[in-house]
A and B are shown apart, each in its own frame.
Chain A
Amino acid sequence: MSSAALAWQQFRLERKLFWRNPSAAFFGFVLPMVLLLLLASTVASDPEDLDILIPGIAGMSVMGTTFNSMAYSLTFLREQGILKRLRGTPVPAPAYFAGFLGNAVANAFVQVGLVVLVGHLLYDVTWPRDWFELVVFTIVGVVAFGSLGIALSHFIPNFDSAPAYVNAIFLPAILISGVFYSAESLPASISGVAEALPLKHVIDGFSDAIIDGRGLGHEFGALAVVAAWGAVGLFLAIRGFRWDDER
């Protein structure tokens, strides 16, 4: 079987496994929706609030479906010896990872699409004004957060401690990056940290793509920051990669 066919097989397997794991499906799909519906129906029901919340939740979803899920999955696969087993089979590493990452990409796109759909149908947020920009920021965001999630997994000692490591980064990141309210309202010291991290820039890109529609050129700086994190993430993900649990 060709590498491309093996990658497709792996992708289909990952989809099957994803839907068989209720907690992953919940955190990947249901939780962001619940947050969106709760906030949009209570504290963030004004149109201006929704214009911030929809891109914010979309950005959070990209991070959740890639950074969090990569860090969890790889820690699990390594601890269970599944990665090591696959290493001993003829499945080429690129084919395996294409299928594995493809699953996260699919989740990210589905989730961003759902957020946009719910925002439009339930809360009268416009259809995205620049679909191309939305897709570009989703792809670059997936690469950055996915590779950073893989890099983080190298430092997680075991699966039981994975949520602590992931949430120590994920929760502060969503709080300071303007998921629930505009990052502009934060103190300079905190917004300075958010400026240096990728999530705020993914949200800025989504905000422009969905609400403002000024085009990719206008958000080039944000795109550059996310892409730079992607380069750092890929470097760390590949450099520290281990197939097995031994140190």
Chain B
Amino acid sequence: MSAAAIEVSDLRKSYGEVEAVRGVSFDVARGEVFGLLGPNGAGKTTTVEILEGYRRRTGGDVRVLGQDPQDGSRELKERVGIVLQGSGFYPRLTVGEAVAHMAKAYPHPRDPRETIALVGLEPQADTRAGRLSGGQQRRLDLALALVGDPDLVFLDEPTTGFDPAARRGAWDVIRTLRELDKTVLLTTHYLDEAQALADRVAIVKDGRIVAEGPPTELGPASGTYRVSYLSGDRRVEHQTDDPTDLLHRLTGDALARGERLEGIEVARPTLEDVYLELTAEDEPE
């Protein structure tokens, strides 16, 4: 058995003339939370739906828990939990009934009550799915994906459309998955979400991975530091790849003039800077 939960090499997918995924490669280790980050239409969902077995790839190779998802084997589906973008469940079933029904499809399910508690839906256990709020419905999605006690969980844009409180709630659940030693593949277009949850992130643009690594290391790799200070009541900002040299000049000049640099700040590049740099539309190919 291989060590990686997911192995993707040179994955390609075309729809007619349009190439949605153009040679994507990455591995996700067991127990890792991996984030695919990118703007809408970058190819994240297509990639994930190939891994989930919903779509057939045009090229490349894919292994999920050692199997090819394209084969659609029941054994693989028993070990994988899927949270899709915006898919519902029977609106006339209660939360409790829905989770208990889905549990029967798996060989070693979690206890349905405990699963409902895990996602924080206990007060709604007897509420029909159709009457849940948007955030509660996504938590039901999560409960339905977890009730089979999967080794690997796919979360496609799990918090899109959530209010801030609901997002924090969902993040807590995803952190719980890590504690349960699940492997998680998460897609998101929220930077803070990737930063808060993922052990490693791949930034996807136009069907390709343009950067990959732990979120804290992706930042410094960019190199654009921001140095700013107050001049009168105006904030002056400089961008530089070499903060040491810039600071030396700025402070040297200030000392020579006998001034102080009020409110000086040096900002390390964040994942956001990397992301915006890499996914900027105006960059020539």
Q: How many A-B residue pairs have CB under 8 A?
A: 62
Q: Which of B106-133 contact A (CB under 8 A)?
A: 106-107
B56 at the A interface (CB under 8 A) = no
Does A91 interact with chain B (Cβ within 8 Å)?
yes
Q: For A89, list chain B residues within 8 Å (CB).
A: 77, 102, 105, 148
Closest to A95 in B: B105
Q: Which of B84, B86, B89 makes the CB contact (< 8 A) with A88?
A: B84
Check if A1 sits within 8 Å of B52, measured CB to CB: no
B92→A92 contact, CB < 8 A: no
Write out the residue numbers on chain A whose beta carbons fall within 8 Å of the beta carbon of B105.
Answer: 1, 6, 89-91
B104 touches A81 (CB 8 A): no
B74 and A92 within 8 A (CB): yes
A9 at interface (Cβ–Cβ under 8 A)?
Answer: yes
A6-B104, A9-B101 known; A82-B53 Cβ under 8 A: no
- Bound Cα distance from A105 to B89, whole angstroms: 23
In the bound complex, CA of A85 to CA of B101 (Å): 13
Check A84–B54 contact: CB distance below 8 A.
yes
- Bound-complex Cα distance A231 to B80 (A): 36
The closest CB in chain A to the CB of B109 belongs to A1
Q: A17-B93, A84-B87, A85-B87 are in contact. Are A90 and B82 (CB under 8 A)?
A: no
Q: How far is the CA of A207 from the CA of B115 in the complex (A)?
A: 54
Provide the residues of chain A in CB contact with B87, threshold 8 Å.
80-82, 84-85
Whether the Cβ atoms of B88 and A84 lie closer than 8 Å is no
Q: Is A130 in the interface zone, CB < 8 Å from B?
A: no
Q: Nearest B residue to A91 by beta-carbon distance?
A: B105
**Cβ of A100 to closest chain B Cβ, rounded Å:** 12
Taking the complex as formed, is A120 at the interface, i.e. its CB lies under 8 A from any CB of chain B?
no
Give Cα A21 to B93, complex, Å.
Answer: 11
Q: With a CB–CB cut-off of 8 A, which chain B residues contact A80?
A: 87-89, 91
- The docked-state distance in angstroms from the alpha carbon of A23 to that of B226 is 63
B residues in contact with A82, CB < 8 Å: 87-90
Q: Which of A207-233 touch B at CB < 8 Å? A: none
User: Which A80-110 residues have a C-beta within 8 angstroms of B?
Assistant: 80-82, 84-85, 87-92
Chain A residues with Cβ below 8 Å from B102 are 89
B84 near A84 with CB under 8 A, answer yes
Asked whether any CB of chain A lies closer than 8 Å to the CB of B212, the reply is: no
CA gap between A181 and B78 in the complex, in Å: 54
Residues of B within 8 Å of A5, CB to CB, are 104
Instruction: Please determine whether A90 and B86 come into contact, CB atoms closer than 8 angstroms.
Output: no
Most chain A C-beta atoms within 10 Å of own C-beta, residue among B92, B107, B144: B92
B65-76 toward A: CB 8 Å interface, digit per residue (1/0)?
000000000110
Residue of A nearest to B101 (CB): A13
| Residue ID in chain A nearest B82 by CB atoms | A88
Q: Are B104 and A9 in contact (CB under 8 A)?
A: yes
Q: Contact at B88–A81, with CB atoms within 8 Å?
A: yes
CA distance A87 to B101 in the complex (A): 15
How far is it, in angstroms, between the C-alpha of A80 and the C-alpha of B105 when the chains are bound? 20
> A243 to B90, alpha carbons, bound, how many Å?
15
**Across-interface contacts of A49 in B (CB, < 8 A):** none
Contacts of B82 in A (CB 8 A): 85, 88
